Every structure is written in C-alpha cells, then in structure tokens.
Amino acid sequence: MNLVETFSEFKEFKNINRETMMRIIEEVFRLVLKKKYGDDANFDIIVNIDRGDLQILRYREIVEDGEVEDNNTQIAYSEAIKLEPDFEIGEEASEELKMSDFGRREILNIRQTLVSKIHEFEKNNIYQKYKNKIGDIITGDVYQIWKKEILILDDDDIELVLPKREQIPSDYFKKGDTVRAVVSKVDMRNNNPVIILSRTSPVFLEKLFEIEVPEVFDGLITIKNIVREPGERAKIAVESYDDRIDPVGACVGMKGSRIHGIVRELGNENIDVINYTNNPTLYITRALSPAKISSIKIDEKNKKAEVYLKPDQISLAIGKGGYNIKLAGKLTGYEIDVYRDVDSSAENEDVDLQEFSDEIDQWIIDELKNIGCDTAKSVLEISVKDLIHRTDLEEETILEVLRILKAEFE
C-alpha cells in the first residue's frame, strides 16, 4: 500500500517524529482489522515512513478442505497452494493484504481516522510542550495583528497569542517583527491548544534578569519579589547569601550596562533594584527610594505604615502618576500613607508650591506661578480678592488652595 498517495496530508505534520507516526498508523490499521476480521493477533503490520509503504501480512494455519472453522485464522489447502504451490497442511501461510481488500468506505474511514488521530496527537504534543514552558521566555515572529491580540509563530510554526492586555502600552509591532515574551498560560479550547504569552507579567522581568545577570541565573542572587506597572515603573527586591556579592550592583551592572538592555526591552520602564531585608522599616525606606524618609510608624497587625517626609521629598515618594508609592506598597505588602514632617523649628520656613502637587492640580500651581507665587507663603500673603483679580481662578478654587496651604503651617 502506498501511503504517500493515499494519505497526502502526512506531509503537513511537522511535529511528529518517525516512530510516533508509525505507531499511529499501525494502531489505526489494527482497529480496522479487528472490526473487519474480529481479531488482529495473526496480522503483522510493517510501516516504512521513508518510502511511504505499508505492508499488512495475515498468517493462517493450512487445514484440509472442508475443515475451515475460522476464516481469519485458517485457510483451506486448495486456497493456500494458490498463494504458494509448495505449501503443506499444518504449515502457516502468509498472505499480503492489498488496498483492494478494503472497501471504498473502509479506505475513506482509515484516511479520516488517521488524519484525525495525527491532528489529535499534534495538539496534545503542542499542549504538553508549552505546558512545560510556562514561565519561560520564547522568541517568535509576528504573523497576524488584530485589535485585541497578536498572533505569533515560533520556530516550529506553532501559533502563540499575545493579547493586548499582556502587551506593554508602548509596544508597537508590525508583521514580521521578532517578539520576546514569557509563556503565561496554556489552555485547551475546543480541543485546540491555546498558548498565551505575556510581556507585562513580573515573571517576564524576572526571566530577563536571569538572561542578563549570570549571578541570578546561577542562583547566587535571589529575586525575592517583583512588582510592575508595565511600561512605567518596576521594583525588584534582591538578596545574596554570599557577602562578597553586591546584589544591587550585580543586577545594575557597570554604569547600568546589565539593566540597560532590560529597560530597553520593556519600553524604557524605570526599574528600581533594592536590597531585600526582613526589617519592615528598612524595607519600606528602601522601597520608597529615591525619596528620603524622616521616620516611619509601623502597624504590624494591620500591615500599615505611616511614613513621614520633609515637604520636598513627598512628590518623590509618591512619584509620577503615584506609581512609586503604589509599587512600594505592593513590594513590601504594607499599606503606606505619606505625611509631611514639619518640625517646630521649621515653622517660619516656606514651602515650594510644587510640593503640593499631590493635593493641588498642576494647572492651578502653574497659574499661581504665572503671577509670581512660587511658595506657599507668597500665596497666603495675597488677599482672596487680589488672587481672583490677578488669576483666572474661581473663588471656590482659591479658597480651597488657601485651605491646603494654611494647613501646612498649622
């Protein structure tokens, strides 16, 4: 039997090795033989994938004419000598089955079953392969771009999905672009494997560090925790059990050489690398970097922290878009509240207007700066009437600004 002509679909299957293909073909034909003859124990199936050949041999005991009790396992002497004139009663006759021995419907059924089983095997193979790759970085090429997701092909032309929600906001891909991402999830939907990739997962950042920092890959530096606001900022806590290794320095590299490639891969995401510690006060202090902390009050039971900072450090602690304090809270596991630390000796000191940007909208601050008010006291020295006259601000807005500024000096 020639499989190349009859089952041309076999050429399309790339992810099945020779031995597996032979096993599937034999399995399908044995099912057909059982159904057709009642048993397949007396059949040999020889598959040659390279030549596309299939040979089915049936062995039957030669008995005297009229004494055949089972047509599948016995053959009459008069029939046997037609196959081979030298056969004698009691010997075993071998006979090759031809494709013509199977009906048209049987051939069609064999063909459909084979293709179905091979497809099924391929799907399971892909599923298992990528199930074992969850958490690994893979590289593929963009094949299709849709509104909600991107289709990527790996080196074996297996389809992988990168949903929009798993892309960094600044990501922009064109067909043919090479993409790196981490395998996030593998599902079976309608009996088809669906491999979901992610570039926003903290695991992606962790694996990039393993690639760029040999000490992380070798286990000399441990990544204790990673939190991310994809495309904006990330914080990573590291430690080393070897006193000779500076974990932060090793991760950043000489003049930022190691971390630079990671930052570029993540769309210029700011990455803060800090030393991990079991001391919550020190951990929170490090997590809020680059802000300098005056003091911290820890509520261990409720996992809360009150952080006191000089007025000029508050905006640094909060960070652009509030990402710094938000990520510091996630990294340390504490709910962090920020307070101004204004000591009595500083009562007569003025405060830069920009330090109130977390409470007063920037456009209002800019409006006050336009009339020459750069500090809190420079605003408080002007009457409400004059502020209304000199700016485009509503009275209600000015009164709220004055309330906030006055609170600073109370």
Residue 5 is predicted with a pLDDT of 47
Q: Tell whether 211 is covered by a domain.
A: no
Whether residue 348 sits in one domain with residue 313: no
Q: Tell whether 121 is covered by a domain.
A: yes
Q: Tell whether 257 is covered by a domain.
A: no
Whether residue 145 sits in one domain with residue 38: no
- C-alpha distances in angstroms, 141 versus 52, 83, 146, 152, 197? 33, 58, 15, 5, 13
- Please give the helix or strand (H or E) that residue 258 lies within, else none: helix 257-265
Q: Tell whether 12 is covered by a domain.
A: yes
- Please give the helix or strand (H or E) that residue 306 lies within, else none: strand 304-309
Q: What are the structure tokens assigned to 356, written together?
A: 């109130």
pLDDT along the chain (410 residues), means of 10: 47 63 85 88 83 82 89 90 88 85 80 82 90 95 95 93 95 95 94 95 96 94 96 95 91 92 93 94 94 91 91 86 93 92 58 86 88 84 86 89 85
Whether residue 83 sits in one domain with residue 66: yes
When divided into structural domains, the chain yields a total of: 4
HEC profile for 159-213? Answer: EEEEEHHHCCCCCCCCCCCEEEEEEEEEEEECCEEEEEEECCCHHHHHHHHHHHC
Domain end marker among 107, 128, 149 = 128
Please give the Cα distance from 58 to 38 (Å, whole number): 13
Sign of CA dihedral 269, 197, 167, 171: positive
Residue 14 is predicted with a pLDDT of 55
Please give the Cα distance from 63 to 369 (Å, whole number): 113
Q: Tell whether 266 is covered by a domain.
A: no
Q: Give the contacts of 179 (CB within 8 A, at least 6 positions apart).
A: 139, 140, 141, 142, 150, 152, 162, 173, 197, 199
Whether residue 71 sits in one domain with residue 28: yes
Q: Give the contacts of 106 (CB within 8 A, at least 6 positions apart).
A: 32, 36
Residue 2 is predicted with a pLDDT of 46
Whether residue 46 sits in one domain with residue 152: no
Please give the Cα distance from 113 to 22 (Å, whole number): 14
Whether residue 108 sits in one domain with residue 153: no
Neighbours of 159 (CB within 10 A): 16
Question: What CATH number corresponds to the domain at position 398?
Answer: 1.10.150
Whether residue 137 sits in one domain with residue 124: no
Please give the Cα distance from 200 to 182 (Å, whole number): 9
Residue 119 is predicted with a pLDDT of 82
**How wide is the angle at C-alpha 231 spanned by C-alphas 143 and 204, nearest 5°?**
65
Q: Give the contacts of 183 (CB within 8 A, at least 6 positions apart).
A: 130, 133, 134, 135, 136, 138, 160, 195, 196, 197
What is the spatial order of strands in the sheet that 335-340 belongs to?
295-299, 304-309, 335-340
Q: Which residue is associated with the tokens 């009050």?
A: 297
Whether residue 143 sits in one domain with residue 120: no
Whether residue 283 sits in one domain with residue 167: no
Q: Tell whether 336 is covered by a domain.
A: yes
Burial track 167-197 (b if 16+ CB lie within 10 A, e otherwise): bbeebeeeeeeebebbbbbbeeeeeebbbbb
Domain that holds residue 298: 277-341
Whether residue 303 sits in one domain with residue 314: yes
Domain end marker among 145, 167, 198 = 198
Residue 15 is predicted with a pLDDT of 61
Whether residue 157 sits in one domain with residue 87: no
Residue 51 is predicted with a pLDDT of 67
Q: Tell whether 263 is covered by a domain.
A: no
Closest CA to 308 of 354, 286, 341: 341
Q: What are the structure tokens assigned to 70, written together?
A: 């089972």
Question: What CATH number corresponds to the domain at position 24?
Answer: 3.30.1480
Whether residue 120 sits in one domain with residue 16: yes
Domain end marker among 297, 319, 341 = 341
Closest CA to 238 of 217, 222, 259, 254: 222
Q: Tell whether 268 is covered by a domain.
A: no
